[in-house]
Structure 1
């Protein structure tokens, strides 16, 4: 087998890495697993590059390898969860300890840097990365998940999807109908959500950062929708409606403790990295808030208590005083 030239291989494959990671993340619900799969995809592509016959594009070839690797992994792994998929909402006085479950992970938008540059494609890419949708995808069987993403997100022809999955075009179309029906049941509000204008969102985010840092519960009450949902993976307890969320925040936010919020963008949604100050010391990484905003109110907060993800967002674990 001919040995590929490293420079040629990198030049032709590297532009697709970000898009591949995003695709595998949607399939798996885990950034760590997605990065591992993409690394394995590139290793397999490198080994097989000398035999690549150019009957399809490099991009299509890479996605074929990645899809098969995802399907292989999903044969032996559970779907990624969010707390509201585990049980009923809890009470702020009884927050459960962290549970050893396969939780959905956040995806830093900065990793879209090598995705397609066409603005319309980028909008679709980011909309299909939203947390509610990725969580809903986890309810689909793996092959349905792949068919939906390849057809509806990547716009592959049904015949190519059928060839990759080893089935017929009719079977692919049938799987798509079932997958879309499940998504409509699991996350119907996500399909109809109207996002705020940029000035409204910017004002709301500024108010949220101020209110959270200052433990200003009056402002937080104004910002939170009545039907707001607050989830804190890896803790399985979650909270539904404004009153319960405010009770939680009053229990969590000590007015005497200093906090700092650093803006982030995750899963195509705005958010913040939160840092809490230790007495007399530095600010330490605490959690990643990913916000869902409708109109001029916050309807959901996914409060990822996963400091290990801060570096994925280009953030340090500590901030100076």
Structure 2
């Protein structure tokens, strides 16, 4: 768990980069920090691992203020991924991933087992271990950067615009993969991005920042349903309704039943309502929802309209 209590950062020229910010990131959650350039996102991130020292306030990790941690040990226990990746060109992929375990004194077998495990996790072939970074694509290099951050089994990961330099297709693929990876890990993540769509997709909680201040800290659904003020409303965009629908699955609002005639066009329970709505452009009747080859429910366009017009529908709250 990470706690920020009235955290403030003022630089030597009296510039206040972060102003009295307080929030908590629960163990195993991902908190995304989003806001315009210069709002203090990266400064806040680097204060957590003491690359930047705070001016006032306190940051606590698992009940202990970071000021009581040795800086080097603190950083070795926190994974760190940046946009520039930072792989060492003279080291193989395996050597890059095993760098922190090496520094922490892992034995060779344990280290190699961890490297192989992570190559499988990030969906790179085992042969990639002996290749050099220049032989990999940008997306593959970014995967290696994530693997290196995970190598020493950290409790915390800090990610600063990790996918920002990638083309849109590769970026979306890596976002999807990382969401799946995070679901299987018990790692607390603080993720900086300038992209509100990425923030909503990646975060269990979203911190919207402006001019060093925390404007709103909420779940993606609550943020979209109840923006705190005009700044947040403008920042999340005019397509706020479609963003809300992209966060709700068919499973949450479908009419459940086990036996039904199967329609020609079908949906999956894990499809988003936004994707389902697009399907209705080509099919007007209620559609069957299929899971493992079995009809488990149906969804109509009216079901989606109900969600769009009400904040509490079919057990879905604060959509």
TM-score class, shorter-chain normalisation, is: under 0.3
Q: Give the TM-score taking structure 1 as reference length.
A: 0.24
More helix by share: 1
